[in-house]
């Protein structure tokens, strides 16, 4: 259902991400531990580590690469991030372990490399990136004693600059793992906050937070720094089931509003199955309201595509989902005092109900007209819909407000129309059952808009933007735009 009622996300994320479903879903945390891939000496030692009760520190389900592909496919997940764990100790998960797994099928798997920063990381990072697709880097400050606030740490600064240049994200693991020698003072809230404040141009992902412990503390940083994302993985659970954990997360006041577009979800395979993470997520979203449920189902497992712009290709051509399909000048009248240009604009929606952002279309048409007729600086822009279920709206384009409006209209259009008389065979020998679409066109919007132009500027409020509300889609439709200008004095 979320696909049928999705917004046009191009005005939030850009044209490449207009339709969320052009991209596959991603498991953002897979450990490279598989029966049919020979592990490094460090990995073997990690799996041999026992606690004082004689139990393994690192749980391993003993699965093969083929088993993992089946798990991903069965959960409708297209890609997986395979992550290293350089702890600057004799045990861990090396970048070569990642290389072995990702190299076995780079179409499915992508690498997250790890460095302890005792030495420069750049040469190894470049070498691995030439062999496999790399999406990011992960640091484990509490295990490696990396002071992320140390401005004199040249190896850290060099790595950050390199990641910025290559558009790699940097994952900071807060250290909620039951492994020896964990120095929590290196990942305190204050240190992470200071680190984020000094690096605003790199995307950082906080990983390993515990919903029963430190999650609410670190989550506050998400409100302060737009470049901070959060990874959900089994360490979030704190003794809960996946369903209970996601339910708890989604019940935090403001969490969905602040984080829906900056969440990634990892299974920590082979610790847990991606199917269990997916089931818990889907069960938890069912109790949410219409906008939150649809928004999370659209993006929570797809957000990671936007972390690595150069890596992921769309499943289908994203150009299919551009709102503006054709602009045709149908008439132009000019004299010494006036110029009148009329356009027929063909637009396309790709959901049952969609709110299309058309501000740029209007401004670009006016800008083009003014450039060709620089002395004609006063007048008006007239916009009209040709369709009874396509209407025009003026409102603020803060993306939260845009989404609120879109999902409000989508939810209204999804209501049962069976009680109304418009649920009959129409004159055109087709079924009509869209009472609420006609209702919205009358109640919430306009058939036409007139925008004044004075001294070469469209005179509108600083927060005013323009939308076409189109229902009963997906569909192509037309609007009429006429620009009438007179010569200024």
Do 292 and 416 reside in the same domain of the chain?
Answer: no
- Burial of 198 from C-beta contacts in 10 A (0-12 / 13-18 / 19+): exposed
Residue 316 lies in a domain: no
Domain boundary among 279, 307, 335: 307
The CATH number linked to 375 is 2.60.120.460
As a whole number of angstroms, the distance between CA 139 and CA 120 comes to: 14
Do 89 and 145 reside in the same domain of the chain?
Answer: yes
Do 105 and 32 reside in the same domain of the chain?
Answer: yes
What local confidence, expressed as pLDDT, does residue 431 receive?
Answer: 72
DSSP classification of residue 20: G
Q: Which residues of the chain have pLDDT under 50?
A: none
What local confidence, expressed as pLDDT, does residue 438 receive?
Answer: 84
Report which of 109, 77, 65 is spatially closest to residue 278, judged by C-alpha positions. 77
What local confidence, expressed as pLDDT, does residue 290 receive?
Answer: 96
What local confidence, expressed as pLDDT, does residue 365 receive?
Answer: 97
Residue 191 lies in a domain: yes
Total count of domains within the chain: 2
What local confidence, expressed as pLDDT, does residue 489 receive?
Answer: 66
Using DSSP, state whether 142 is helix, strand or coil: helix
What local confidence, expressed as pLDDT, does residue 86 receive?
Answer: 97
Do 441 and 295 reside in the same domain of the chain?
Answer: no
Under 8 Å between Cβ of 91 and 47: no
What is the reported pTM? 0.94
Do 337 and 260 reside in the same domain of the chain?
Answer: no
Do 86 and 145 reside in the same domain of the chain?
Answer: yes
Do 45 and 190 reside in the same domain of the chain?
Answer: yes
C-alpha triplet 239, 90, 109: angle, nearest 5°: 65
What local confidence, expressed as pLDDT, does residue 130 receive?
Answer: 97
96 CB contacts (<8 Å, ≥6 apart)? 40
Do 159 and 83 reside in the same domain of the chain?
Answer: yes
The CATH number linked to 58 is 3.20.20.140
70-89 CB burial, b ≥16 within 10 A, e <16: ebbeebebbbbbbbbbbbeb
Residue 425 Cα distances to 141, 212, 277, 429, 441, angstroms: 67, 56, 45, 6, 21
**Which domain covers residue 415, as residue numbers?**
323-487
Residue 248 lies in a domain: yes
Residue 209 Cα distances to 25, 205, 216, 258, 489, angstroms: 22, 11, 9, 17, 64
């Amino acid at each position: 259902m979320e696909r049928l009622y999705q917004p046009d996300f191009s005005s939030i994320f850009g044209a490449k991400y207009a339709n969320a479903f052009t991209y596959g879903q991603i498991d953002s945390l897979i450990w490279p531990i598989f029966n049919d891939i020979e592990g490094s000496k460090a990995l073997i030692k990690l799996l041999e580590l026992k606690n004082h009760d004689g139990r393994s520190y690192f749980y391993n389900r003993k699965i093969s690469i083929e088993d993992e592909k089946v798990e991903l496919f069965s959960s409708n997940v297209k890609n997986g991030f395979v992550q290293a764990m350089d702890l600057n100790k004799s045990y861990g998960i090396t970048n070569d372990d990642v290389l072995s797994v990702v190299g076995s099928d780079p179409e499915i798997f992508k690498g997250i490399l790890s460095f302890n920063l005792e030495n420069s990381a750049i040469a190894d990072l470049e070498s691995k990136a030439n062999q496999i697709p790399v999406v990011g880097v992960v640091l484990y400050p509490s295990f490696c004693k990396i002071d992320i606030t140390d401005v004199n740490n040249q190896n850290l600064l060099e790595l950050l600059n390199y990641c910025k240049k290559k558009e790699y994200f940097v994952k900071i693991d807060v250290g909620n793992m039951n492994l020896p020698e964990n120095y929590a003072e290196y990942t305190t809230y204050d240190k992470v906050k200071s680190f984020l404040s000094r690096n605003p141009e790199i995307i950082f992902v906080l990983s390993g937070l515990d919903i029963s412990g430190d999650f609410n503390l670190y989550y506050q940083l998400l409100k302060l720094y737009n470049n901070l994302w959060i990874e959900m993985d089994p360490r979030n659970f704190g003794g809960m089931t996946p369903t209970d954990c996601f339910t708890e997360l989604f019940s935090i006041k403001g969490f969905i509003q602040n984080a829906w577009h900056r969440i990634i979800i990892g299974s920590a395979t082979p610790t847990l199955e991606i199917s269990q993470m997916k089931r818990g997520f889907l069960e938890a979203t069912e109790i949410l309201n219409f906008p939150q449920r649809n928004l999370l189902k659209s993006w929570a497992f797809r957000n990671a595509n936007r972390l690595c712009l150069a890596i992921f290709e769309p499943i289908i051509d994203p150009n299919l989902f551009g709102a503006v399909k054709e602009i045709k000048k149908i008439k132009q009248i000019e004299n010494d005092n006036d110029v009148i240009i009329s356009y027929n604009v063909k637009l396309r929606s790709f959901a049952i109900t969609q709110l299309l952002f058309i501000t740029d279309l209007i401004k670009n048409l006016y800008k083009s007209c003014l450039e060709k007729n620089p002395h004609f600086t006063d007048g008006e822009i007239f916009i009209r819909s040709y369709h009874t279920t396509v209407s025009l709206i003026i409102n603020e384009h803060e993306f939260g407000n845009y989404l609120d409006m879109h999902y409000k209209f989508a939810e209204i259009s999804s209501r049962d129309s069976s009680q109304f008389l418009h649920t009959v065979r129409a004159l055109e020998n087709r079924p009509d059952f869209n009472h609420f679409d006609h209702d919205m066109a009358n109640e919430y919007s306009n058939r036409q808009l007139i925008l004044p132009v004075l001294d070469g500027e469209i005179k509108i409020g600083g927060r005013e933007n323009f939308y076409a509300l189109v229902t009963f889609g997906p569909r192509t439709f037309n609007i009429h735009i006429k620009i009438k200008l007179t010569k200024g004095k």
